[in-house]
């Protein structure tokens, strides 16, 4: 029984390798990210804590594809609602990771999908105090 299982596994692996080798488009495409990958209008939602208090934000973010972001939205900290606006500079690396620094001094690390439609980020520093905040952004284009 074990011999049949090993033979079936070997056959499946060989068939898969054959398909990757001969079927057009079956191989992974080698595309890299850059600042241009992050371009357009996004809706972003962030949640977490700042100074131990519940934090949430909903923003519209515009990225120019050249390393600049601007945005506005609403922040809620411990139940208090505040409007917000911001600018930031960003860098996207070839491996689709990146970072940005806002005009207020807040820093974040990010990952971005190859097509630039989905972004995930985590707050790495803020002048407001200790924070644990993560978020996602999706393109509106």
Closest Cα to residue 49, out of 139, 121, 131, 141?
131
Nearest-5° Cα angle at 15, 10 to 16: 100
Between 1 and 93, name the one with better pLDDT: 93
Over residues 67-95, mean pLDDT? 97
| CA 102 – CA 39 distance, rounded (Å) | 17
Per-residue pLDDT at 44 exceeds 50? yes
Spatial neighbors of 35 by CB under 8 A, at least 6 apart, are: 65, 66, 67, 90, 91, 92
Spatial neighbors of 47 by CB under 8 A, at least 6 apart, are: 55, 56, 57, 133, 134, 135
Per-residue pLDDT at 60 exceeds 50? yes
Per-residue pLDDT at 140 exceeds 50? yes
What pLDDT shows up at residue 29? 54
């Amino acid at each position: 029984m074990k011999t049949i299982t090993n033979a079936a596994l070997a056959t499946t692996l060989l068939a898969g390798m054959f398909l990757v080798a001969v079927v057009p488009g079956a191989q992974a495409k080698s595309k890299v990210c850059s600042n241009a990958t992050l371009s357009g209008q996004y809706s972003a939602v962030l949640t977490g804590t700042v100074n131990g208090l519940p934090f949430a934000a909903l923003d519209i973010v515009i990225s120019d594809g050249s390393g600049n972001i601007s945005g506005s939205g609403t922040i809620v900290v411990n139940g208090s609602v505040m409007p917000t606006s911001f600018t930031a500079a960003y860098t996207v690396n070839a491996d689709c990771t990146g970072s940005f620094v806002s005009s207020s001094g807040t820093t974040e690390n990010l990952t971005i999908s190859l097509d630039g439609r989905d972004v995930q980020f985590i707050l790495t520093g803020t002048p407001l105090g200790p924070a644990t905040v993560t978020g996602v952004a999706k393109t509106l284009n």
